[in-house]
Amino acid sequence: MGVLRVVNLGVKVGERKVLKNVNLFIKEGETFVLFGPNGSGKSTLLNALIGNPSYKVTSGRILFKKIDVTNLPTNERVKLGIGIAFQNPPKISGVKLIDVLRYCARVGGYSEDKIMELAEAMKMTDHLYREINVGFSGGEVKRSELLQLMLMNPDLVLLDEPDSGVDLENVALIGDAIRKILERDKSEEERTKSGIIITHQGHILDYVDADYAAILYNGRIACIGEPEDILNQIRNHGYEGCLVKCLRNMENSE
């Protein structure tokens, strides 16, 4: 069954048209990795999916669990089961991490005990009564974002560069957490969680065996394939080289 279907999506940020005719289909239990150079529109796609009002949908539709969510406010999408971990979440003075975790637990239907248990697992217990993201290190921000995701327990998990600016020790912790969130340890038939992961370096792929990878280039999806394969091609030929090769293959297949 398809969980997410994105049809001909166009998105504008300010006056700039960032996404053009993006089409995407994700099945229940599937995890997608999204590569692409800076500014190609990867974060824009995730922000449009969660309904960030700064990202205006100019064309197309977003269907989640067969419901058209294109015009729904963010919190309604969250209630339906979309969850996001941001790359650079804002600092909010006076609002403590514990407050936000309680909001998340309300979405996921978890108790206070579960908050403590997961905070422990993500090594964030010392930060519970600190203002959210204020003075957090890069790794702490990522761990806090994942902890919030876990408590919301979404069916579609959007991860915006969960491994960027993170040291090796944190990458392992974060990688393990994402593998659990996306149920990658379960057998294919048992998986119910779907995900889109944006990554630059691909470190996260050492921990999470994604099903597919795609390159977002110049506002369009190109080059869908095996994650390892695509990552190697990007490493060896760069994005441009990889795309040229892909397009040639496509021409051949036509």
Q: Which is nearer to another protein, 96 or 200 (CB)?
A: 96
Among the residue ranges 22-30, 36-44, 80-88, 212-220, the one whose residues contact another protein (CB under 8 A) = 80-88
* 3-state secondary structure at position 150: helix
Contacts of 40 (CB under 8 A, 6+ apart): 216, 217, 218, 219
> Total residues contacting another protein (rule CB under 8 A)?
28
Residue 13 Cβ vs another protein, minimum distance, rounded to whole Å: 13
By the rule CB under 8 A, 100 interacts with another protein: yes
Q: Which is nearer to another protein, 42 or 77 (CB)?
A: 77
Q: Which is nearer to another protein, 75 or 249 (CB)?
A: 75
Contact status, residue 48 vs residue 62, Cβ threshold 8 Å: yes
Tokens of 75: 């919190």
Q: What's the half-sphere exposure (Cβ side, CA atoms, 13 Å) at 93? A: 0
Contact status, residue 117 vs residue 83, Cβ threshold 8 Å: no
Give dist(CA 129, CA 103) in Å, integer. Answer: 15
Site for another protein in 138-177 (CB under 8 A): 148, 152
Among the residue ranges 8-16, 33-41, 98-106, 213-221, the one whose residues contact another protein (CB under 8 A) = 98-106
Tokens of 243: 């795309």
Give contact residues for another protein (rule: CB under 8 A). 50, 52-54, 73-75, 78-79, 83-84, 86, 89-90, 92-96, 99-100, 103-104, 106-107, 131, 148, 152
